Structure 1
């Protein structure tokens, strides 16, 4: 009898759905978000009879986030990354598709879904700067129905864990950027959510503060929590993420472990040049060389030189042509090296630009 029941559940996909709920913290299926484009200085009566112009920010994407993993979600500006995050955290309603958070549909049961999520969103002041660190945590604990002795214990624990206890009774406006970010993280943890959404958590932090926060993120993962992470730092994504999804123009264009993504570039040589000058004409000339796949550049303020990264698909012959073409343009090569592919190279190969452009 049990065998027939299982067969029925498998055939009707009920069992698969139950198993997915056990395995996945976040399930995104055919998710789409459209916005109506409004032109500046165009009066509403002129738009009345016109066909609506629609911008698709997120274009029918699908991905799952496994329970207990750090899922890195990367994309250039305007790719649909922030829109996706806001839909998962119930701040935006999808045009179509579904999002399940621990099995709860965020559209049908937003309150239940939110009980599973703690958020630290980039660019938003998520704490009250005129309150102390302690008062902030006590306030947000009360918002989650946590009061009295339990609230005090949770507040004291988080203040100590995030090394805020010595200045807990100073107003947040007096804190450094790193301390403010730790208060925001403590606020997200106060209700002990299963899932944390961290949107560029180390943005604007000095190297030491960023390193400390990354260590805390790894500790939180070790507790069994799921972390949905966005970042503008490729090294950070590589270091922290179990899997990475890359979104561009509203579509998921890659989804795998960091190592597998890098392994896909094994046949590509990564050439780094340090040059005393760089012009658009030289760029266009280099792009005409066969087997040159991508070229990116940036000016280094410290060295006052240009750093140029070139992806080459067929090795030594193309490298020789690259050097010859650069020198013949009157540009001095200060440094030259061939490197192993990084996650940044994967991103450039997929999108044609670096993450921070």
Structure 2
């Protein structure tokens, strides 16, 4: 069964005097997401990612098209769906004067929890997101990372079957981001929850997502696993070299070399075909008197695919 079945979804925002200025956020998006996966939506700012998530989460109504979530229509059956899904944003904000535990209890009451059941749910969420030591801290006293973990905990208060995460690690330090990613992966693994997330971090998408869709200007441009996307969007092979002395200029001008970047003592050359260009580059370097200390042929990373699609 599909968790999400979206067909020809369009959404336009209107602003200005009597809505004279229009911005098309979504232009005929069709997307099917199976149950039990982590699905990533990637794209540049303004691509339509948050708008699409908001429609899926019943927070916006599409202008055109149909969306079925967990077998229910997002417009006609929104009330029923809201008990089965939830959403967390990297820009989430709660009342500053409430304590972490009180915030979770507040949202638990909105879903009809009370008494012992509410207390047990709050304790379980604090434990899951490693927030027990901070349960009595005021919201405005929490670090950015703790606020993100609290937003994730809040989104689980109704034990959703489908979870939407909009930039869940936005602005976090690498170690805190890794911890959040660990929580997300564990949710999917242990609860078989379907998770749809947006992110700007390619490593995050590659690490977490079973499948990824690229969206730009309100349209889906490509979809697949990270490995499939790298094959579909042919951007060349990467040859990484450690040289003594470095010869970036000579390499950059060689036939078949698309670009060269030097960092951390290594030169990475993106070439059209590694099998053909590697022997040529080695001969060139030998003629220049450079000593090759190390050479590797690398697979292009997802960030290069993103850059290519975002152009």
TM norm. shorter chain > 0.5: yes
Aligned CA distance change for structure 1 residues 167 and 53 (closer, same or farther; 3 Å): closer
One of 137, 156, 165 as aligned partner of 2:104: 137
- Deviation of 1:270 (Å): 2.8
2:56 is aligned to 88
List gaps (5 residues or longer) in structure 1: 1-22, 39-43, 275-281, 325-334, 353-357
Aligned CA distance change for structure 1 residues 106 and 267 (closer, same or farther; 3 Å): closer
1:202 is aligned to 169
**Aligned partners of 1:266 and 1:341 also within 8 Å:** no
CA–CA distance in 1 between the matches of 2:234 and 2:146? 41
CA–CA distance in 1 between the matches of 2:306 and 2:105? 42
CA–CA distance in 2 between the matches of 1:129 and 1:36? 32
One of 219, 233, 242 as aligned partner of 1:251: 219
- 1:311-338 CA-to-partner distances (Å, cap 9, x unmatched) read 43244887879xx9xxxxxxxxxx9975
The two structures have a TM-score, normalised by structure 1, of: 0.73
Aligned CA distance change for structure 1 residues 157 and 53 (closer, same or farther; 3 Å): closer
- Deviation of 1:149 (Å): 0.8
Q: Establish whether residue 212 from structure 1 lines up as the match of residue 189 from structure 2.
A: no
The two structures have a TM-score, normalised by structure 2, of: 0.82
1:117 is aligned to 85
1:191 is aligned to 158
Aligned CA distance change for structure 1 residues 53 and 139 (closer, same or farther; 3 Å): closer
One of 63, 66, 70 as aligned partner of 1:98: 66
Counterpart secondary structure, 2:3: strand
Q: Establish whether residue 67 from structure 1 lines up as the match of residue 35 from structure 2.
A: yes
Aligned CA distance change for structure 1 residues 230 and 310 (closer, same or farther; 3 Å): farther
One of 126, 147, 156 as aligned partner of 1:180: 147
**Aligned partners of 1:289 and 1:318 also within 8 Å:** no
Q: How many residues align?
A: 300
- Deviation of 1:122 (Å): 2.8
- Deviation of 1:272 (Å): 6.8
- Deviation of 1:25 (Å): 1.0
Counterpart secondary structure, 2:146: helix
1:351 is aligned to 310
Higher strand fraction: Structure 1 or Structure 2? 2
CA–CA distance in 1 between the matches of 2:2 and 2:257? 40
**Aligned partners of 2:92 and 2:151 also within 8 Å:** no
**Aligned partners of 1:119 and 1:188 also within 8 Å:** yes
CA–CA distance in 2 between the matches of 1:296 and 1:53? 43
CA–CA distance in 1 between the matches of 2:11 and 2:239? 39
1:24 is aligned to 2
Aligned CA distance change for structure 1 residues 265 and 36 (closer, same or farther; 3 Å): closer
Counterpart secondary structure, 2:112: coil
**Aligned partners of 2:86 and 2:163 also within 8 Å:** yes
1:262 is aligned to 230
